[in-house]
Amino acid sequence: MNQRIRLPLSVLLTLSIVAILSTRFAAAADDAGTTAALAAAIAGPQRSDANKARDKYRHPLETLTFFGIKPDMTVVEVSPGTGWYTEILAPLLKDHGKLYEAVGGGAGAKKFEDKLKADSAVYSQVIVTTLQPPAQTEIAPAGSADMVLTFRNVHDWIPRGTTQDYFKAFYRALKPGGVLGITDHRADPSQPQDPKAKNGYVRQDYMIQIAKQAGFRLAGTSEINANPKDPRNQPVWNLPPTLRQGDKDRDKYLAIGESDRMTLKFVKPATEAQTR
């Protein structure tokens, strides 16, 4: 006949505390490992000096940590441009994760792919997909991604009228509970949103509305990439690194630095009931 062994309450409490502490220590060790891996990728030789010089404005360690990235995740970077963040994401995810790069067509896409081919040691595992809404929106297999990231791009989609096509593609690619991370140039909230975003700035509440319309839930906001020096009353391309006006007011724009930016974390709800 089996007999149940009843442990004293004090022992049960001790065991519970040990289990909780073990979980917390494991999580802390995991976070420390991710931070170390991120720091190594950011400091790595695959990054150009010009790109490293932008870290003081773009805060890649803090930004990716806020989004919750891990080296074993499946991540999609959307519209990578010249690959500023790709230089960090590719080595971070190379050994244990997976990185999709969703690019548009044209000369920019060709230049980006040439960049990847030029350094196979870093980029050989990167999977390039095509994102040209509304025709091509399969950025990764449906429900496969832990995270979708896009940096300073939404303001370009607004005047084209394709913003919801992009966000629907993000939603489709993500697993339930997956994260969408966005940074973009933040407009003055006291001014109405320009429906064409002609100066390159987007109101933060407007961005949140776009994501919610696609089914996402806002999980957090951060001031990591805020710049109170930015008056937000000039075209964003006048600021560095573009400096579109050349020598005209160059010192003024260099003193401002890169734009004031919102940093937003959204989640694809695990259930439809969590969408709102």
DSSP calls for 131-172: -BTTTB--SSSTT-EEEEEEES-HHHHGGGT-HHHHHHHHHH
Q: Is residue 269 situated within a structural domain?
A: yes
Residue 59's CATH number:
3.40.50.150
Q: Is residue 14 situated within a structural domain?
A: no
In the predicted model, what is the mean pLDDT of residues 52-70? 98
* Rg of the chain, C-alpha, whole Å: 21
Q: Residue 148 belongs to what domain range? A: 44-274
Residue found under tokens 């991120």: 38
Q: How confident is the model at residue 135 (pLDDT cuts 50, 70, 90)?
A: confident
- Quick check: pTM over 0.95? no
CA-to-CA dists, residue 117 to 122, 131, 160, angstroms: 9, 20, 31
DSSP character string of 192-247: PPPTT-TTS-B-HHHHHHHHHHTT-EEEEEE-TT--TT--S-S-GGGSTTT-TTTT
Q: How many domains does the chain have?
A: 1
Tell me if 256 sits within 8 A of 227, measured CB to CB: yes
Q: Is residue 103 situated within a structural domain?
A: yes
Continuous segment of H or E residues that includes residue 20 = helix 9-43
Residue found under tokens 């890169």: 258
Tokens at 209, concatenated = 């509305």
DSSP character string of 171-188: HHHEEEEEEEEEEEEBPP
Q: How confident is the model at residue 271 (pLDDT cuts 50, 70, 90)?
A: confident
Q: Is residue 95 situated within a structural domain?
A: yes
Distance CA 273, CA 159 (A): 32
Q: Is residue 7 situated within a structural domain?
A: no
Measuring CA to CA, which residue among 260, 85, 54, 46 is closest to residue 181? Answer: 85
Work out the number of other CB atoms within 10 angstroms of the CB of residue 145.
25
Distance CA 67, CA 59 (A): 12
Q: What would the pLDDT profile of 105-124 be if each residue is shown by its tens digit?
A: 878 899 999 999 999 999 99
pLDDT over 90 (residue 75): yes
DSSP-derived letter for residue 85 is: T
| 15-18 own/partner pairs: CB under 8 Å, 24+ apart | none
Q: What would the pLDDT profile of 208-249 be if each residue is shown by its tens digit?
A: 999 999 999 999 999 999 999 999 999 999 999 999 999 999
Q: Is residue 22 situated within a structural domain?
A: no
Q: What are the residues whose beta carbons fall under 8 Å from the beta carbon of 195, sequence distance 6 or more?
A: 158
Q: Is residue 24 situated within a structural domain?
A: no
Sort strands 217-222 and 145-151 into parallel, antiparallel or unpaired. Answer: unpaired
Residue found under tokens 């695959």: 46
Q: What would the pLDDT profile of 160-192 be if each residue is shown by its tens digit?
A: 999 999 999 999 999 999 999 999 999 999 999
Q: Is residue 146 situated within a structural domain?
A: yes
Quote the mean pLDDT of the chain: 92
